[in-house]
Amino acid sequence: MAHAPKDNHAPLHLHIPEPKFRPGDVADFSDIIVPEVDANPRPDEHVAPANIHALAYGLVRVLGDDHQPSGSWNPNLDVDTLRVMLRKMLLLRAFDDRMFRAQRQGKTSFYMKSFGEEATSVATTMALHSDDMCFPSYRQQGILITRDYPLVDMMNQIYSNRGDRLKGRQLPIMYSAKEYGFFSISGNLTTQYPQAVGWAMASASRADTRISAVWCGDGSTAEGDFHSALTFAAVYNAPVIFQVVNNQWAISSFSGFAGSERTTFAARAIGYGIAGLRVDGNDALAVYAAMQWAANRARNNGGPTLIEYFTYRGEGHSTSDDPGAYRAAEEYALWPLGDPVTRLKEHLIAIGAWTDAQHESLIIELSVQVKAVQKEAEQNGILGHGLHHPFETMFEDVFEEMPWHLKEQCAQMLEEQKDKFGPEWEAR
């Protein structure tokens, strides 16, 4: 029961955040402040975190409205590097498109696109060394694509087929690729945060030169693991780069449910005494520059950095999701920071290193390439149609050596299958 009012105070009321726009509304992002390029210039990589608080509230930008780079954050990338960046982002987009369709064609159960956030996995990875360790969340397939992990292996995993390196044990897209510096993706959100810190601490304690980088979304910064990780990283000055891909939406919950109505995600760094940068996540050059700054800082024992990429989830959370049910239509088209692929393309065109015709033909080339790989992957089977790893592998790799009780349970399963499907099964 509510207490009777005391004194002269108004009764308490509970604030439940609500996004500004819902289906039926026309989104208006005019309240989003987009500062000038170089509004907060690039500090020295060894700067004390206390001296760069403004960077946690600002927005690091390199590309201006005229698609020309400027300012102290400009990474001054050569044209070849820029073209590689664009190609990787377009390949990622082509891959996403193909796999989303594969789900709609019944070839897999689940897929997640990274549409609109391509820069946050491609440009970041390009700014790391190839042997730095990445601890991704579930929307960073761009890391694997940037590091030339075979697309066919990604597809085999998505199809859970007999070529799946993970033997059908993981939800589609939950890759693992140690050889490519890509940690096994967990469905439990932000658990990778303290793990990345542990990896970085191990690297530092072994006088290694490698650093670790970890990604999570805006929504999952609310997990306890996020805060444990930042505490440990600050305590041990671990060479780790924390990245929050703030794409505004955690399935149907807007970023306000992770605290964005009060402060920025980059500003979380301030309380821990580590460096925090807030970056235009759709400006691939700014994303690259921020990651490069943080990587140099970490590699030179400057400690951890928390980077927030301010971006927008252009499509649904996954193939199971329909954003039309909870957010205003056309939000992505109205997003004030544009589309990362388009902005990089316009930049290349503006400097005379690219044309619309080249762009169109690259899109076609990549789509043909991805489709060809898809045919190759489908030779290994698609989800639910026979061509998978043998069922008994379900019991393997729980431990290094299979203990007696799992052997017994496995034998029981095989026995029951024999009873059900007859001697042909046994013969197989």
Partner 1 sequence: MAEPATKKMNMIEAINSALDVMLAKDPEVVIMGEDVGYFGGVFRATAGLQAKHGKTRVFDTPISECGIIGVGVGMAAYGLRPVPEIQFADYIYPGLDQLVSEAARLRYRSANDFTCPMTVRSPFGGGIFGGQTHSQSPESLFTHVCGIKTVIPATPYDAKGLLIAAIEDNDPVVFFEPKRIYNGPFTGYYDRPVEPWSKHAGSDVPEGHYRINLGEAAVVREGEAVTVLTYGTMVHVVKAVVADQGFDAEIIDLRTLLPLDIATIEASVKKTGRCMVVHEATRTSGFGAELAAQVQEPASII
Partner 2 sequence: MPKFTFNLPDIGEGIAEAEIVAWHVKVGDMISEDQPLADMMTDKATVEMESPVSGVITKVAGEAGDVIAIGAMLVEIEVAGDVGNQAPAAAEAADADMLAAVVADENPYAPEPVAVAAATPAPAAPVPAQSPAPSAHATEKVMASPAVRQRAKALGVDLTDVKAAGGHIRHADLDAFLNYGASKGYQPAHTKLPRADEAVKVIGMRRRIADNMAASKRHIPHFTYVEEIDVTAIEAMRADLNANRGTKPKVTLLPMLIVAICKTMPQFPMMNARFDDEAGIVTRHGSVHLGMATQTDSGLMVPVIRDAQDRNIWQLAAEITRLAEAARNGSVKSEELSGSTLTITSLGPLGGIATTPVINRPEVAIIGPNKIVERPMFVGDSIEARKLMNLSISCDHRVVDGWDAASYVQALKKLIETPVLLFAD
- Footprint of partner 2 (CB under 8 A): 22-25, 101-107, 109-110, 162, 316, 319-322, 324-325, 328-329, 375, 378-379, 381-382, 384-388, 391, 417, 421, 424-425, 428
Least separation in angstroms between residue 320's CB and partner 2 is: 4
417 binds, among partner 2, partner 1, none (CB under 5 to 8 A by kind): partner 2
- Calpha distance 277→57 (Å, rounded): 8
If the CB atoms of residues 329 and 406 are measured against partner 2, the closer one turns out to be: 329
Nearer to partner 2, 33 or 368 (CB): 368
Structure tokens at 396: 């393997």
315 touches, from partner 1, partner 2, none (C-beta below 5 to 8 Å by class): none
| CB-CB contact of 56 with 270 (8 Å) | yes
**54 vs 372, beta carbon nearer partner 2:** 372
Residue 212, contacted partner among partner 2, partner 1, none, CB below 5-8 A by kind: partner 1
Identify which of residues 202 and 363 has a Cβ nearer to partner 1 in the complex. 202
d(CA 45, CA 300): 9
The residue among 305, 221, 293 whose CA lies nearest residue 257 is 221
By C-beta, is 189 or 291 nearer to partner 2? 189
- Contact positions vs partner 1 (CB under 8 A): 133, 135, 165-167, 169-170, 174, 176-178, 183-184, 186-188, 191, 193-203, 205-206, 212, 224-225, 228-229, 231-232, 235, 397-400, 403-405
Give the dihedral of Cα atoms 81, 56, 313, 338; nearest 10 deg. -60
Here the tokens at position 356 are: 């619309």
Closest approach of partner 1 to the CB of residue 204, in Å: 8
Count Cβ neighbours within 10 Å for each residue of 258-291 and write b for 16 or more, e otherwise. Answer: bbbeeebbbbbbbebebbbbbbbbbbbbbbbbbb
CB of 418 to partner 1, least distance (A): 19
| Shortest distance (Å) from residue 221 CB to partner 2 | 25
Q: Which helix (H) or strand (E) holds 308?
A: strand 305-310
What DSSP string runs through 111-125? ----TT-HHHHHHHH
